[in-house]
Chains A and B, each alone.
Chain A
Amino acid sequence: MTGRLGLSRIALGLLGVAIVVALWQGTIAYYGLASIVLPTPLSVAATLLKLFGSAAFWRDVAVSLKEFVLGYVIGGVLGILVGVLVGERPAVRMTIGPVIEALRFIVPFAWIPLTVLWFGTSLTGKIVLVAYAVFFVMVVTTHRAMTTVDPVLTRVAIMLGMRESEIALKVHLRAAAPGIASGAKAAAAIGWIAVVAAEYIGASAGLGVMITNASMSLATATVIGGMIVIGIIGGMVSWLVGLAAAAWLNH
């Protein structure tokens, strides 16, 4: 039963991809588009295969992933830390709460001109941007998850004789873990989007740079191939974070 369901699930997934490819191919045929405007799925697939064999491509992937991972870890750790403080300490909440509320609506992309000014096209600018994007998602979700912890658990912890720090970390943070985990998954998606967006505008290496360079030399198949790679990596990152979170929650 589950086997058949699993099989039909894969089949339906493939059907979805096939529909997109068919629409793509049909559009080219219907409008008679030149390959410089929209290359065929087959030529994009061939370009992708060629990319996979090139060291430069993998260097670009590595740069983008490095920016993402560093920014994600820095922003994630800081975000959870600040989220816990905001959740546990009313004085902290009142001090930095309004600042965070205002800043989180300045989307990461609005900072790109400034990060280019401050950090040039180096990796640092991208890492800062990803950390910024991830930080606010994690502060807000951590705080929200901690404020929705059942107050009875706090009373129980006090009754059992736990110290304030133990209650914050062993009870509140642990009880908030599922909420924080789903925040971490959302933050991964936002962080990855921030990396690519920043690379489009000001960078010297990375997938975004590869795509903008290909676009300037009218290598449209490479542009689309790069976009597909971005999508696949984003999906894989989100999937991996989800797996890690589930493993952590069930440890």
Chain B
Amino acid sequence: MSEFKTASDPLSGSQQKDGLSFEGISHTYVAANGSTPVLRDVTFAIAPGQVACVVGPSGCGKSTLLSLAAGLMRPTSGVTRWKGKPVEPGTNPDLGMAFQQPGLFPWMTVRQNVAIGLTTRGASRSDARRRADDMLATVGLTGFGDAYPNQLSGGMAQRVGIARALALRPKLLLMDEPFASVDAFTRLKLQAEFKALLKLDRPTVLFVTHDVSEAILLGDVIVVMSARPAAVDRIIPIEREDRDRAGPGYARKMTEALKALGVETDLSHD
């Protein structure tokens, strides 16, 4: 069944009981017009402080994986564990998540949107406000604290959603293609900022993306998923030197990931 690489993976072993682990996860969406299996016996673990980037064909259940880790739903079978305990739908005080859509509360200002999670978790109003302003500065939105979401562009709103997740200083950070809807220039900037922020708090990160270069840049490992119903196809470890876009490691990892995804990369014959 699950005879793949996790056992020999450098990130697994005793460490994983402090991190995030998926153990034999299968999930099927049941609707009136039939059922759709999306995940099939998914097993892998992310050690504490590690960044795992999940790539896979669209619709392969990457977002479902995040929802399971967040406790927003229960899997059909299998267990998701955080720090060794099964994830229960509801409250995980360690959790921060950025969604595909900004998901901002339209009746709150940008600052209130970033601060609400902090006050919900017990921070004082003034602390929450200060942290919110700090995070807004980090994502390049200084001066927009008093604006309302409907006054922002799509990319700006997305950055507020990211700031809201990061402001919580989560120990478990889940990100669902958070940079997909921002322009290319802002994305590069946000990726760099994000990388710097990760160094600060060292959260355990599950990062879903469809951009392999982003996965190499941000991830300690790349988890390649197969088509639906998705299983883990391959786990590719990324070393520091692989992130040099001009270096041989980058090209090698890129080719390995794309090959696993079934993408033809050799265009030299045309």
Contacts and interface: CB of A to CB of B under 8 A. Distances in A.
A174 B70 CA distance: 24
Instruction: Describe A's contact surface by its main secondary structure.
Output: helix
A35 to B, nearest CB: 56
B99 A174 contact: no
Contacts of A158: 70-72, 89-90
Contacts of A171: 105
Contact of B72 (A153, A159, A166): A159
A166 B103 contact: no
Contacts, number: 50
B28 to A, nearest CB: 20
B121 interface: yes
Contact of A162 (B71, B97, B120, B165): B120
B116 A160 contact: yes
A130 B105 CA distance: 34
B93 A159 contact: no
A191 to B, nearest CB: 27
Interface size class of B (residues with CB under 8 A): 20 to 34
Contact of B70 (A152, A159, A162): A159
A152 B164 CA distance: 14
Contacts of B95: 159, 161
Interface residue tally of chain A, by bracket? 10 to 19
B107 interface: yes
B96 to A, nearest CB: 7
B105 A155 contact: no
B72 A175 contact: no
Given A158-B72, A160-B120, A161-B120, A152 B107 contact: no
23 contacts: A152-B99, A152-B103, A155-B67, A155-B70, A155-B99, A155-B103, A156-B105, A158-B71, A158-B72, A159-B95, A159-B97, A159-B165, A160-B116, A160-B117, A160-B120, A160-B121, A161-B93, A161-B117, A162-B120, A171-B105, A175-B105, A175-B106, A177-B107
